[in-house]
Copies of this chain bind each other. A is one copy, B any other.
Amino acid sequence: MHAVGRKVWAIAEGYIPGESFSEDRRFVSHETACILNTGDAPAEITLTVFFAAREPAGPYRVTVPPRRTLHLRFNDLDPPIPRNTDYASLIESNVPIIVQHTRLDARDPHIALLSTIAFPVDQ
């Protein structure tokens, strides 16, 4: 199967709530960049994170193996993304990929969700 999608994606929304009702990983407030690599070569990806009032962080580097999806939690990046802080991100890959953005807000036990396709920059 060949790689489908685009090589550059942007997510203008970003906000990791600082509180969670649970320590269970499933119910920790988090944001995810869901990445799909349908192709037969690894996707070597760099992630740049933008803020409201300081220079961008990164590039963070991740690899998505061939024919795999990686639901990358922004919470797990090192150095960490600050909580309760507006951010945005740019995702660049050496091969075409698909990116979708999701937040699970677990500040309250009755969680809220949002999701959207990211913006394909190189249409």
Could you list which residues of chain A lie within 8 angstroms of chain B, going by C-beta atoms?
1, 4-5, 8, 10-15, 26, 32, 34-36, 38, 48, 50-53, 55-56, 67-71, 84, 86-88, 90, 98-103, 105, 107-121, 123
Contact = CB atoms under 8 A, between A and B. Distances in A.
A87 B69 contact: yes
Q: How many copies does the complex hold?
A: 4
A82 B37 CA distance: 20
A36 B52 CA distance: 9
A69 B53 CA distance: 8
A121 B4 contact: yes
List 10 A-B pairs, minimum CB-CB distance, nearest first.
Answer: A69-B88, A110-B110, A114-B115, A12-B100, A36-B88, A12-B34, A12-B36, A13-B34, A113-B114, A112-B113
